[in-house]
Structures are given as C-alpha cells and as structure tokens.
C-alpha cells in the first residue's frame, strides 16, 4: 500500500498527516495555546511553507504572538472600524462552482486619509477576513475575491495600506485566498501595482488574474454560476455589505 499517497478524511496525505503531528508537538512545547488550533490550521501553515516543518512552526508561532497582541479579545468589532465600514467597499455573497465564498472589493471606494489611519485599516482587514472565514461553508477553507478597480484614482492610492493588507493575508491567513480576479483596471492603477507586486509571494501571484473588460463576464462565468454571480457583472445576486452578511 502506498501510504505516502493515502488520503485522510480531511484531505491530508500520509506525509502531511505525519508532518502535522510533528509540527503540533513542536509548537505546543513553545506555546501551549497551540492546542486550541485544529490540524487544518496547522496544515495551512505547512502548505504555505511547502511542508517545511521548521519554517511552518516559525510562521505559526509568529501568528500566535501577533494574534494575542492585535486581537486580544478574539475578534474585531465594527465599532473599532467606523471609517472603513462607512466607505461601504467590501461585499460578500454567493459561492463559486467549487463552493467557495465570493467577496467583492471596490478599490475606488477606499480612501486612506481618514481619522483612523493605517491601524484602523489593518483592523478592518482582519475584521473582513474573520467574517469571511466564519461564513465559509462546511468543508471549505478558501475564498474567491473580485477586486474591482473602476474609478480608482490617486486619492484612492494607499501603497502602505495595500502592503499591510498583503502582509496580514500572507503571514497570518495563509492558504485562505483561492483566487482573485482583478477587473476594470485603469492604467493609472498600474503605478501602485508595480510598487506592491515585488512583495507578493509566488504562491499568491499565481492566484491573481487580471481580466480584460471585454472578457469580464465570460471569464467570471467559467468559475461562477450566473445564479451566484453579482448582478453588476450580469449575474443574479444583489450585493451584500460584508458587515451585513
């Protein structure tokens, strides 16, 4: 029997299963709160580091330290992020053909110059990721995002914010993003994109798809049924603000 390729109920291979057990033993010696996290969580960190146990342990322990400091109560309240909630820029509704939640963010509705500054934006990013994860259908670990850049201008440019969001996603929520469609991209946006691109890890780069306007609906329909596609792209679903989802 080829045990290396044997699959467990959670989809892990024999190799992954054994490495998860080893990783758990190591991280629990370093931080007892590791016991609160299930094997799927450890597996995401392992996969993010190509099954390198030492690198995955370092990444996971860094996450635990960050979470205790940044989210000490275990969650972010909407009262902590009023300026970004008011911008009404992120929505969540429907699932793709693989059953993964669909989010939609409007880059042209993000304005970095608000009283909350960068810290409030980082809290907003964590709030949205936590809300997405909490709403994931059973058996799903990833989500799909549509980043709509229509109307984006220099007043929306926020390279510091983009880098902060990218760091949070890659360092603390690995293997959560399945795919990102970037649509309605104005030429002026590419200047900001070129500044952010070098900081995107190779795994994430492969998940980002820029879509030409003329192929927008047809491209989205390859992954998303019409019944689940937002109505602004020719689908059937109305947009639901993430705080109301």
Per-residue pLDDT of the chain (245 residues; tens, 9 = 90+): 344 445 565 677 899 999 999 999 999 999 999 999 999 999 999 999 999 999 999 999 999 999 999 999 999 999 999 999 999 999 999 999 999 999 999 999 999 998 899 999 999 999 999 999 999 999 999 999 999 999 999 999 999 999 999 999 999 999 999 999 999 999 999 999 999 999 999 999 999 999 999 999 999 999 999 999 999 999 999 999 999 98
Neighbouring CB atoms inside 10 A of 74's CB total: 7
Instruction: Assess if residue 224 is contained within a domain.
Output: yes
Under 8 Å CB-to-CB from 21, ≥6 apart: which residues?
A: none
Residue in 145, 152, 150, 165 with CA at minimum distance from that of residue 191: 152
- Please state the domain count of the chain: 2
Clarify whether residues 213 and 134 are in a common domain.
yes
Q: Strand pairing partners for 148? A: 106, 183
**Residue where a domain stops, chosen among 70, 97, 115:** 70
In a domain, residue 91? The reply is yes
Write down which residue in 70, 87, 104 finishes a domain.
Answer: 70
Query: Looking at the structure, do residues 84 and 56 belong to the same domain, yes or no?
Result: no
Q: N- to C-terminal Cα distance for the chain?
A: 46
Q: What angle do CA 157, 221, 197 make, to 5 degrees?
A: 30
- Structure tokens that stand for 107 in this block: 């880059």
Q: How far apart are CA 112 and CA 110, in angstroms?
A: 6
Q: Which domain does 52 fall in, by range? A: 14-70
Q: The whole model's pTM is what?
A: 0.93
In this structure, the answer to whether residues 92 and 129 fall within a common structural domain is yes
Q: Are residues 132 and 51 in the same domain?
A: no
Locate all alpha helices (DSSP H) within the chain, ordered by sequence: 14-30, 39-48, 53-70, 82-87, 117-135, 159-172, 189-196, 202-205, 216-223
Same domain, 131 and 59: no
Are 164 and 56 in a shared domain? no
Q: Is the domain of 82 the same as that of 47?
A: no
- At 32 the three-state DSSP class reads helix
Are 64 and 89 in the same domain?
no
Do 40 and 119 share a structural domain?
no
**Two tokens, residue 132:** 């997405």
- Does residue 124 sit in the same domain as residue 43? no
Find how far residue 240's CA is from the centre of its chain: 18
Strands 208-210 and 177-183 come out as: parallel
Q: Same structural domain for residues 131 and 25? A: no
CA 222/CA 147 separation, integer angstroms: 17
Q: Are 222 and 95 in contact (CB under 8 A)?
A: no
């Amino acid at each position: 029997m080829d045990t290396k390729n044997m699959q467990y109920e959670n989809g892990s291979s024999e190799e992954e299963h054994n490495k998860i057990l080893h990783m758990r033993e190591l991280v629990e010696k370093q931080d007892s709160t590791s016991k609160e996290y299930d094997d799927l969580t450890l597996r995401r960190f392992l996969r993010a580091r190509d099954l390198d146990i030492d690198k995955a342990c370092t990444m996971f322990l860094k996450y635990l330290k960050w979470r205790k400091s940044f989210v000490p109560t275990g969650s972010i309240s909407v009262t902590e992020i009023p300026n970004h909630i008011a911008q009404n820029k992120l929505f969540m509704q429907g699932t793709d053909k693989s059953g993964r939640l669909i989010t939609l963010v409007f880059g042209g509705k993000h304005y970095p110059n608000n009283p909350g500054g960068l810290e409030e934006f980082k809290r907003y990013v964590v709030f949205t990721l936590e809300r997405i994860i909490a709403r994931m259908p059973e058996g799903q670990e990833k989500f799909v995002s549509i980043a709509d850049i229509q109307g984006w201008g220099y007043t929306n440019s926020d390279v510091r914010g983009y880098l902060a969001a990218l760091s949070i996603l890659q360092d603390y929520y690995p293997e959560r993003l399945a795919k990102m469609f970037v649509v309605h991209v104005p030429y002026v946006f590419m200047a900001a994109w070129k500044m952010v691109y070098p900081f995107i890890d190779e795994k994430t780069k492969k998940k980002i798809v820029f879509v030409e306007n003329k192929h927008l609906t047809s491209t989205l329909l390859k992954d998303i049924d019409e019944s689940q596609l937002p109505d602004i792209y020719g689908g059937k679903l109305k947009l639901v603000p993430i705080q109301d989802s």
